[in-house]
Amino acid sequence: MAKLSLKDAQQTPLFTFDFPQRVYFEDTDAGGVVYHAQYVKFLERARTEWLRYLGFTNSELERKYKILFIVSEIAVEFVKPARLDDAINISVGIENLGRVRITFHQEIRRGEDILVKARVSVATVAASTFKPIEIPMDVRKKMEASC
């Protein structure tokens, strides 16, 4: 299986969901700069809010469809730092929608400045076994409509 690389990005998604976020003290290190692991949390929150925008919650997906979305690969490029009190925006766009796997192109920006670029591969698994399972058709249709 090919590894995710930011240099291999196919194209910028046609549709991008944007999620605004403020940088709080808890997100930073002693110097007031966002700690690197916090960016991964920001990316996750934006994907979760994108699902809400489509009309789904993670708990509903598990309860109704018996599925979970799990991150299987991530490639992150840190371009510039975010700092305490910055207003940032995290984008979510689908780069590739497979039967079981979704590859997202995500960016974190402060105004026009790109701070972080990421490609995140997410797999759909059965909640009970963690084995790969196809994305349910009605969920897929809403995802396709957002592309």
* Cβ atoms 64, 108 nearer than 8 A: no
* Cβ atoms 122, 49 nearer than 8 A: no
Per annotation, catalytic residue among 8, 27, 29, 86: 29
Q: What are phi and psi of 8, to 5 degrees?
A: -90, 0
What tokens does 133 get?
């399972």
* Cβ atoms 100, 132 nearer than 8 A: yes
8 given a catalytic annotation: no
1 in helix, strand or coil? coil
In the numeric block, the tokens 């549709």 are attached to 15
Give strand pairing partners of 69: 124
So which residues are the catalytic ones?
29
